[in-house]
Amino acid sequence: MKIGVVCYPTYGGSGVLATELGLGLARKGHEVHFITYRRPARLGGFQANVFYHEVDSGSDYPLFEFAPYETSLASKLVDVIENYGIDLLHVHYAVPHASVAYMARKILISRGKYVPFVTTLHGTDITLVGTNPAFAPTITFAINKSDGVTAVSESLRKDTLANFDICNPIEVIYNFIDFKRFHRDNKDHFKAAIAPNGERILIHVSNFRPVKRVDDVIYIFKIVNDEIPSKLLLIGDGPERSRCEELSRKLGLSQDIRFLGKQDAVEELLAVSDLFLLPSASESFGLAALEAMACQVPVISSNVGGIPEVNIDGETGYLSGIGMVDKMAEDALKILKDDKILGRFRAAALAQAARFDIEEIIPKYEAYYQEVIDRTTIKPEEPVFDC
Ligand code: GMT
């Protein structure tokens, strides 16, 4: 199959997932074309079957205060689809990729070719950005016009149906993990550099947006650290970072909290950690938590969105309401105080992560693509689920 992939090329979960999926499909012999405004963060170097096409937003024209990314992307899609004979386009994150894909499909129909597109909903495209009245009608329309729609959790599927007037079926295909990359590694020298006196290592990975509640991470750590010697690794960057650095200084934690910024090899840090913190206000799935669990790191999280589908309360970690910092810290201490308990949670986290093995999930996408292609080949002039 020749597959076009559109995503945000940044460190955000949707871009990470889209890139890993594309690379996984390429390893299985599909030809995969990434069409993005920058090389996706996890794409790496040259690989057979993997193509990268950069979208030029034409931003240097003085009249444009806002670069017309959508128009450039639609034109690039038409170009790549026509010239490389793409069979199916997969767009990640509905805003604005679903409506751009719809535009590209319309242009291609006018040229006598029907190429279906699948939209994958990732989270904030529905829960935060999508519900904004500035976007909602366009998103509703584009989701309904997609030839296939997937959501990364059951919770996100329900949220989409609750927030938008959707008449298209939504297939849940969970996010996945590649165990070749994410696994526990006893890098003792590495651990010793972070925690020289055998302290427990807590970790949080995110894009430091307000929705991640990184200040809760710091408050939880403060309570834990007061009771057992520990270190906190904060991975990633974003708008809340400097405020959080200030907070950690104010709480006298500068020596125990390390802000490491964006990291390419996050698995190496997860592999030496003891506990992952994810107190988000909204989370459709929590890919970062799954990556931790694959490295046998239990998770203390909020109970919002799709997180309970990933982190099982009392087994792989603990769940609490948003902002329940004291309870989260208490739960963290329950796990960290005793090696035997920590070992039990580690094993359960790994077992649960195995349910999301890339080897199980990629075939689900392949089957879904085939179903969409078969369905739209029968009736090429308009999508079957048009309404
Ligand atoms: O919010 C982020 O961390 C980035 C965002 C994205 O779309 O890039 O992540 C969303 O998609 C991820 C991959 O499907 C999910 O694991 C995250 O839970 C989801 N984030 C939210 O819903 C806040």
pLDDT, tens only, 181-204 = 999 987 778 889 999 999 999 999
Which of 158, 285, 365 should be mutated for ligand 1, with most atoms under 8 A from CB?
285
Q: What is the mean pLDDT of the chain?
A: 94
Q: pLDDT band for position 380 (50/70/90)?
A: low
Count the helices and strands in the chain (H runs, E runs). Answer: 15, 13
Locate tokens 């193509």: which residue? Answer: 51
The whole-model pTM stands at 0.93
Mean pLDDT of 231-247: 97
Strand boundaries in the chain, DSSP class E: 2-6, 31-36, 50-54, 88-92, 117-121, 148-151, 171-172, 200-205, 230-235, 257-261, 275-278, 299-302, 317-320
- Rounded distance from Cα 16 to ligand 1 centre (Å): 10
pLDDT of residue 129: 75
- Rounded distance from Cα 93 to ligand 1 centre (Å): 9
Contact 21, 39 (CB under 8 A): no
pLDDT of residue 128: 75
- Condensed to tens digits (0 to 9), the pLDDT of residues 52-82 reads 999 987 667 777 877 889 999 999 999 999 9
Nearest Cα residue to atom 9 of ligand 1: 13
Q: What are phi and psi of 340, to 5 degrees?
A: -65, -45
Give the DSSP H or E segment for 70. helix 69-84
Domains of the chain: 2-176+358-375 (3.40.50.2000), 188-354 (3.40.50.2000)
Which positions ≥6 away from 230 have C-beta within 8 Å? 195, 199, 200, 201, 202, 221, 224, 256, 336
